[in-house]
């Protein structure tokens, strides 16, 4: 038994890496749906079906707890999964809430009414599907009032990262930041609402300027997972070996993943 980490491709490896470092004795099973990436340009029904298929595959590996390390899946599928699909004894967690808790300085499980927070102008950079879902704004509204969110759909960035084209990815990030700043000239904080984007965090920060706090998800999700397992130890499992599955070509995905994380990762066919 391991903790499952689901992503549409390679971006969730940023979350896996942070979780593995935070919980070194924990076994993880990573599932990358590389054959169908990117999810950010798909419709909600398609994302739901693909996400359910991936989560079921992780359940087959004994992962009763699965983290959707994909903002698009968290935004477009998680609520529907929790309301209509996930059986008793299984848990599927998203990546938005830890980010919003950090932004609003609220602890996990703080169910008090939404209140005023220090940050008033927030830039959200995410895939087109995540932006269209408005899931970030919905979750934020449960916890904070008076926050203006300007969302920028970052078409093309995930594709460029997945294919290893760093020059194109940098150019696209700068272009998307410029587009957002035309609508919100002075954001106080920026949310990198895709688990691929931490790989471009330096470019986002440089384009936004030093006065903008840039929130990236990986370490926040790792802390949230550690806290969750402290309260729900039955989901820890007894495994020690991590495993990596892909719907794409294992050799190609392994090569990109190794380049991505700068240490060797070997994927198997899902």
DSSP 222: H
CB proximity list for 123: less than 8 A, separation 6 or greater: 149, 150, 152, 180, 184, 187, 189, 190, 191, 208, 212
**Please, what sign has the CA dihedral across residues 75, 78, 81, 84?**
negative
CB proximity list for 252: less than 8 A, separation 6 or greater: none
Choose the catalytic residue: 19, 29, 63, 70: 70
**Token pair listed for 251:** 């050799």
**Token pair listed for 118:** 């220090």
The SS3 call for residue 217 is: coil
Q: How far apart are CA 117 and CA 149, in angstroms?
A: 13
CB proximity list for 22: less than 8 A, separation 6 or greater: 219, 222, 223, 225, 226
Q: How far apart are CA 255 and CA 242, in angstroms?
A: 18
Closest by alpha carbon to 122, among 109, 141, 94, 108?
Answer: 141
State the alpha helices, DSSP H only, in the chain. 13-22, 44-60, 71-76, 78-84, 96-104, 128-133, 135-141, 157-162, 166-183, 201-208, 218-231, 250-261
Query: Is-catalytic flag, 70?
Result: yes
Choose the catalytic residue: 29, 63, 154, 194: 194
Query: Is-catalytic flag, 154?
Result: no
Q: Which residues are catalytic?
A: 70, 194
């Amino acid at each position: 038994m391991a903790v499952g980490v689901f992503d549409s491709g390679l971006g969730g490896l940023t979350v896996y890496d942070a979780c593995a470092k935070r919980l070194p004795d924990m076994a993880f099973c990573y599932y990358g749906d590389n054959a169908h990436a990117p999810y950010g340009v798909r419709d909600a029904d398609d994302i739901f079906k693909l996400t359910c298929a991936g989560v079921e595959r992780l359940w087959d590996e004994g992962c009763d707890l699965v983290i959707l390390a994909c903002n698009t899946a968290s935004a477009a599928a998680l609520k529907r999964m929790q309301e209509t699909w996930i059986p008793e004894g299984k848990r599927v967690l998203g990546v938005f809430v830890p980010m919003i808790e950090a932004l609003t300085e609220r602890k996990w499980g703080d169910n008090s009414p939404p209140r005023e927070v220090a940050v008033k102008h927030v830039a959200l950079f995410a895939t087109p599907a995540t932006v269209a879902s408005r899931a970030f704004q919905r979750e934020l509204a449960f916890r904070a009032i008076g926050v203006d969110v300007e969302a920028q759909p970052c078409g093309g960035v995930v594709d460029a990262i997945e294919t290893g084209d760093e020059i194109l990815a940098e150019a696209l990030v700068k272009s998307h930041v410029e587009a957002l700043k035309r609508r919100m000239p002075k954001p106080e904080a920026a949310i990198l609402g895709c688990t691929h984007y931490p790989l471009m965090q330096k470019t986002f920060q440089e384009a936004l300027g030093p006065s903008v706090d840039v929130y990236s998800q990986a370490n926040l999700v790792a802390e949230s997972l550690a806290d969750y397992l402290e309260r729900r130890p039955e989901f820890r499992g007894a495994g020690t070996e991590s495993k990596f599955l892909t719907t794409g070509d294992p050799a190609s995905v392994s090569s990109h993943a190794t380049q991505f994380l700068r240490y060797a990762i070997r994927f198997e066919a899902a």
